[in-house]
Structures are given as C-alpha cells and as structure tokens.
Amino acid sequence: MIDYSKILSARAQALKPSGIRKFFDVAGTMENCISLGVGEPDFKTPWMIRDAGIKSLERGKTWYTSNAGLAQMRAGIADYLARRFELHYDPESEMLVTVGGSEAIDLALRAVLEPGDEVIIPEPCYVSYAPLTSLAGGVPVPVALKAENGFRLTAEELRAAITPRTKMLVLPFPCNPTGAVLRERHLAALAEVLQDTDILVLTDEIYAELTYGTRRHVSIASLPGMKERTIYINGFSKAYAMTGWRLGYVCAPVPLMKAMTKIHQYAIMCAPTTSQYAGIVALREGDEAIETMRDEYDMRRKFLVNALNRMGMTCFEPEGAFYVFPSIAVSGLGSEEFCEKLLFSKKVAVVPGTAFGDSGEGFVRISYSYSVAHLSEALGRIEEFLKECGHG
Amino acid sequence: MDRILKILEDNARLPLEDIAAMADKTPEEVAAAIDEYAKAGVIKGYKTLVDWDRTDSVRVRALIELKVSPKKDHGFDEIASTIALFPEVDSVMLMSGGYDLGLVMTGKSFQEIALFVALRLSPLDDVLSTATHFVLRTYKKDGVMYTDENKDERGYNFL
C-alpha cells in the first residue's frame, strides 16, 4: 500500500484546499437552488468572436503558435492597450499571450521570486495569489483592506507592509470580490511609495473593462516611472465573456518577459491556437460588445446595491467587476454560517467573504452575472432569510 | 429615458423603486416618465408571456402572408386597418419583400384558422392572395426562450 502523503510534495500538501468547495458541490446538486456564486459572465461570447474561432478550425489552423502567441494577436493587443488604456508595449519583445490571466500570474511570480521573498497581497482578493506565491517559494504578506476605505489599498497600508524582503506588490483592481477600483489619484499615492524601491507591481487588470461611472479605468503602468516596475496582466475572459477560451496576456519590461517566456515555453508551449484566432477578432471588433455588456452589468449593479441596502445588508458602491460585497452584520451571523444557513434554508448560494481572506469576515460576495429576474428571485429569498434571522 | 423602456420591456413587473435605481432616477421620476410614455402612446400596455403549450389549453397560431392591392391616396393603411379590427388577429404588419401584409393570429384549431382565412380574409375586395403558415413549436418569443435548453451551464467554479 503506497503512503501517498510521503510521495506528494510538501509544497502541494501545504496548499490549503478550498474550504467551501464541498459546500458548493452541495449547491450544484440541490434542486431549485439559486446561485449567486458564479464568477464568470452569463453572456455568451459574442458571435463574431465565436465565428472567428470556428473559421480558424475550418481552415485547419490547428498547430501550435509561436511561444509568445500569434504576431497578429500581439499586434492587436498592443493596439488595444494603446487605444483603451494609453499603455504602450512593444508586441515583439514586451508581450506574451497566456492561457488565461491565471497562467500569467503564475509566470510572473515564478519568474521573480527567490525563496523567502515577500509578496504583498491586499485582501480580500481573488484566491490564487497567495497559493501561487507559496508554490513559487515566496511568502504571501496579506494586507487587510478596510470597508471604510472602500476596500482600497492606501499608501499608508502599503508603506507599513513593506520590509527589506518585499519583492512584489499584487494589485488586483477592479477587485474580485469587493468591486473596489483604484482611481488615478489612489494609484499615484501608491506609485509614490514604490518609486524609490525595487519592488515590482503585479497588476491584474482582468476586470478593467468592467469599470462603471463616467471615469475610465486607469492602469498603474500608465503612470510616470511605473512601467519599468510593472507586470501588467489582462485577458479576454471578463471583457469579452470568453472564460472557457482560456486566453490572457502579460506585458512587462524585456528582461522580465524573457524569464516568463522561458517558463511558459517549457510548461505550456503556447496559448490555444483557436482561442488566439478568436481573440484577434475580439480585439479588433469587440469594443461595442464590451459596452453593451457593461451597460447591462451596470444596471444590475445599481439594482442589487439598492435592494441590498434596503434590506439592511449595507454595501458600499462597487465601481468595478461584477460583484457586490455587502455586510451581513444585520444577520448577526459569521460569513460561513450565513452562507451555509442561507443555502440549506432558502437554497440560495453566495460566497462567504472569508473565502477571499480573513478580512472578508462579516461580508459575502454576491455576483451579478445573472439576469435581473434571477437576482430578484434570489433577493426575495434572502430577505425572507433575514426576517427569519429576526434581523431583517 | 430609453433606459426605463428597456428595463420595462425586459420585465414589466419590477417595482418602481428598482427601476429607479437601475435608471439613476427617483421613483417619482420613473412614475412620471411611464405616465408620459403611456399618454404619448409609446407604452401600449403590459402583457404576460404565456407558454400555452405547457397548459391544457389548446391554441393554434399561424403566420399569414397577404398580398393586397393598395388604394390610391391610402396605400396599404385602409386594408391593414380593416384587417386589424378582427379580434382573431393578433398582429398586422406591413412588410417589405415577397408579400405586403404579415398577420399573426391565434385560434382554437387549424380548422378555425383555415375557415377564418377562407371566409373572412380572402373575400375582402383588396386581398389578392393568402398563404397560411401554422406554428408547430415555439422556441423563443419576444426575447424569451420557450425551451428548456436555456439552463445555466456554468461550472460551479465560484472563484
């Protein structure tokens, strides 16, 4: 009998399994369960993008692409970044097409971390940064963001977290799960702290196009002096509703790109070819589709924030992504208890804030990648639940 | 303002307060706007989308193509208005292409519709010809899927 615990790497064994995975498996099998838990768009990939993928298959484009990705794809990304975010990267030397933004995060961490290097990770945040940091030998240094700051990372918080071992700052804004965004002035304050250091910024801007209000998303890489210390990550999943295509990219200064490309070529070879052909069309013709989907998300966002506040689940106004992060103080329950009871008594699945870091305690994440009718039904059940808690 | 119409078109039963939040208005402003739309004839009414095939009730729908002779001075309006007065007729539309008027109508049986076409529509002076197409199954109507294939297939990868 093999004792696998002696065979599996200590690193893999040390990774915490997702604590509520089991909980959501239950939700998946529950009859008449309404989920507000999914973290991907409900829209289908716009037709002209799907069609481009199909056409590429019809024409037999089924080989690997170059490691860095199709030249046309990279040219398209360069053009898109300049057009939408005033970012200027050389498609030949400063860019790599990856298997979703997820691979890009992994590459960036593995390319720069030495054992013991610290990575500052503002929490609550997307769950991958800390485990991937550990796998790369680094030490995650969580910074608990505060609701009263709108879950933004402040310059003071950043300064306090920096030590001589700090190698990198992860900047995940617009933020999953809070919906917080950093506007230009917030970014400028952070940039000032980093200016005289060698600390790199890993900016994960996968939700950049889902920024609401009249002001557009600003990337920290576009601020003076920041490009040389920034690893910029974006992808197609959220903006174009292309999660299943697994397509993203990373842009950074040449020495960093060279290191990341080496890891990418040995581990992955290249991003899916079909997806790249679809991505070229997304970049070229997808601006209107982005606007349409963003408008729809924006209406749902306003609907949800208003309804939750009315029910006593107070939430600050999320300005990005497609999540709201309301406080559940009114229920008198902890995050996990709230979610479990809500699931079993009302068959509504939401994600406990603690899934995104300890500082998420007292909050839950509600996704609005659902129709208004679906949201409305779920909110009705949550309202009943709150009443039964005796606090609604 | 079009935003209110769009919201109502998708879901006419949303409370005013929700519509107001979605459209960046106050509930009073939304109520006033809806009144205005109704007065101006922009909002024609509110109905329920019913999938009658899932009930015991038997209903037959048909699309009818009509070729008609337009009248001097009145064009197609006169005959279209006459046909629109039949309570059996749900919709009357002036079409481009191979025929002039497109009708949608509902009846209790194929026969009832066939008789209506034969006895009421065809004898009209200006009707030159008719072609009746019966609806066999509705997959989608007014933007809403009528089949069960519309279920959420997203994986439970909640992150």
Quote the minimal CA–CA distance from B137 to chain A in Å: 24
B135 and B59 in a common domain: yes
Token reading at B112: 């009832």
Mean pLDDT score, A271-284? 98
A323, A329, A332, A334 alpha-carbon torsion, rounded to 10°: 50
**Chain A residues with beta carbon closer than 8 angstroms to that of B154:** 38, 40, 42
Distance from CA of A198 to the nearest CA of B (A): 31
Instruction: Answer yes or no: is B102 within a domain.
Output: yes
Q: Is residue B135 part of a domain?
A: yes
Better-predicted residue by pLDDT, A17 or B39: B39
Kindly indicate the confidence band of residue A41, based on its pLDDT and cuts at 50, 70 and 90: very high
Contact A373 B154 (CB under 8 A): no
Query: How many domains, chain B?
Result: 2
pLDDT, tens digit, for every residue of B52-75? 989 999 999 999 999 999 888 878
Q: Smallest CA–CA separation between B100 and chain A, in Å?
A: 32
CA gap A279, A50 in Å, rounded: 9
| Chain B hits for A307, Cβ within 8 Å | 18, 21
User: For B18, which of A37, A176, A306 is closest by C-beta distance?
Assistant: A306
Q: Which strand (E) or helix (H) includes residue B8?
A: helix B2-10
How many whole angstroms from its chain centre is CA A291?
Answer: 19
Q: Which residues contact B66 (CB under 8 A, 6 or more apart)?
A: B83, B99, B100, B101, B102, B103, B121, B127, B128, B129, B130
What residue has token string 């990939």?
A45
pLDDT confidence bin for A115, thresholds 50/70/90: very high
Range scoring the smallest mean pLDDT among A135-149, A178-192, A231-245, B145-159: B145-159
Q: How high does pLDDT run on average in chain A?
A: 95
CA distance A179 to chain B (A): 14
**Tokens describing residue B65:** 């193509």
In a domain, B132, yes or no: yes
B158–A310: do the CB atoms touch at under 8 Å?
no
Residue B114: the pLDDT is 96
Task: Give yes or no for a contact between A374 and B152, defined as CB atoms under 8 angstroms apart.
Answer: no
Mean pLDDT, chain B, integer:
92
Instruction: Say which residue the tokens 């065979």 belong to.
Output: A7
CA A51/CA A58 separation, integer angstroms: 10
d(C-alpha A223, C-alpha A183), whole Å: 12
If pLDDT is split at 50, 70 and 90, which confidence band does B147 have?
confident
Residue A24: band (very low, low, confident or very high) from pLDDT cuts 50, 70, 90: confident
In this structure, the answer to whether residues B32 and B60 fall within a common structural domain is: no
In angstroms, the Cα distances linking A298 to A175, A368, B24, B101, B158 are: 16, 9, 11, 40, 21
Q: State pLDDT tens for residues A303-346.
A: 999 999 999 999 988 999 999 999 999 999 999 999 999 999 99
| Same domain membership, residue B109 and residue B62 | yes
For residues B62 and B121, the answer to whether their CB atoms sit within 8 Å is: no
**Percentage of the residues of chain B whose pLDDT score is greater than 70:** 96
- B159 pLDDT band, cuts 50/70/90, is low
Across the interface, whether the CB atoms of A38 and B14 are under 8 A apart is answered: no
Q: Which domains does chain A have, with CATH numbers?
A: 4-45+289-388 (3.90.1150.10), 48-286 (3.40.640.10)
Contact A376 B18 (CB under 8 A): yes
Do A176 and A135 touch, CB atoms closer than 8 A? no
Here the tokens at position A343 are 């699931």
Give alpha helix (H) positions in B16-139.
Answer: 16-22, 27-39, 77-84, 110-116
pLDDT for the residue numbered A20? 63
Q: Check B158 against A38: CB less than 8 A apart.
A: yes
- My answer on whether B71 and B126 are in the same domain is yes
Of A18, A38, A303, the CB nearest to B21: A303
- Residues B13 and B69 placed together within one structural domain of the fold: no
Nearest-neighbour CA in chain A from B159: distance (Å): 5
Within this chain, do residues B6 and B71 fall inside the same structural domain, yes or no?
no
Residue B122 placed within a domain: yes
CB pairs under 8 A between A and B: 60
Lowest mean pLDDT, pick from A11-15, A107-111, A143-147, B119-123: A11-15
What whole-number distance in Å separates Cα of residue B113 and Cα of residue B59? 11
CA distance linking residue B67 with residue B130, whole number of Å: 6
pLDDT single digits (tens) A79-97: 999 999 999 999 999 999 9
State how far residue A12 is from chain B, nearest Cα, in angstroms: 20
Residues B73 and B124 in one domain: yes
The 3 state secondary structure assigned to chain A is: CCCHHHHCCHHHHHCCCCCCHHHHHHHHHCCCCEECCCCCCCCCCCHHHHHHHHHHHHCCCCCCCCCCCCHHHHHHHHHHHHHHHCCCCCCCCCEEEECHHHHHHHHHHHHHCCCCCEEEEEECCCCCHHHHHHHCCCEEEEEECCHHHCCCCCHHHHHHHCCCCEEEEEECCCCCCCCCCCCHHHHHHHHHHHCCCCCEEEEECCCCCCECCCCCCCCHHHCCCCHHHEEEEEECCCCCCCHHHCCEEEECCHHHHHHHHHHHHHHCCCCCHHHHHHHHHHHHHCHHHHHHHHHHHHHHHHHHHHHHHHHCCCCCCCCECCEECCECHHHCCCHHHHHHHHHHHHCEECEEHHHHCHHHCCEEEEECCCCHHHHHHHHHHHHHHHHHCCCC
Return the bridge partners of A342, or none: none
Residue carrying structure tokens 């402003």: B29
Return the amino acid letter for B96.
S
Q: Which residues partner with A94 through β-bridges?
A: none
Residues on chain B touching A127 (C-beta within 8 angstroms) = 159
Phi, psi of A117 (to 5 degrees): -65, 140
User: By a Cβ cutoff of 8 Å, what residues of chain A touch chain B?
Assistant: 18, 20, 24-25, 27-28, 35, 37-40, 42, 126-128, 176, 299-300, 302-303, 305-307, 310, 349, 351, 355, 372-373, 376
pLDDT at A71 (0 to 100): 98
Output Rg (C-alpha) for chain A, integer angstroms. Answer: 21
Q: Are residues B61 and B24 in the same domain?
A: no
Which pLDDT score is estimated for B158? 58
| Banded pLDDT at A19 (limits 50, 70, 90) | low
Judge residue B146's burial from the number of C-beta atoms within 10 Å of its C-beta, 0-12 exposed, 13-18 middle, 19 or more buried. middle
Of A35, A306, A372, the CB nearest to B11: A372
Whether residue A190 is predicted with pLDDT greater than 80 in this model: the reply is yes
Q: Do B156 and A28 touch (CB under 8 A)?
A: yes
- pLDDT score, position B1: 57
Average pLDDT of the segment spanning A259-266: 98
- Among the partner-chain residues A24, A42, A300, the one whose CB lies closest to the CB of B158 is A24
Domain CATH for B69: 3.30.70.920
- B76 and B122 in a single domain? The answer is yes
Range of the domain at B88: 52-141
Confirm whether B154 is domain-assigned.
no
Same domain assignment for residues B135 and B61 = yes
Mean pLDDT, to the nearest integer, of A201-222? Answer: 96
**pLDDT at position B156, please?**
67
CA-based end-to-end distance of chain A: 55
Do A38 and B17 count as a contact with CB atoms less than 8 A apart?
Answer: no
- Which of chain A's residues have a Cβ under 8 Å away from the Cβ of B26? none
B11:A373 CB<8 A: yes
Q: Are residues B72 and B22 in the same domain?
A: no
Residues B131 and B89 in one domain: yes
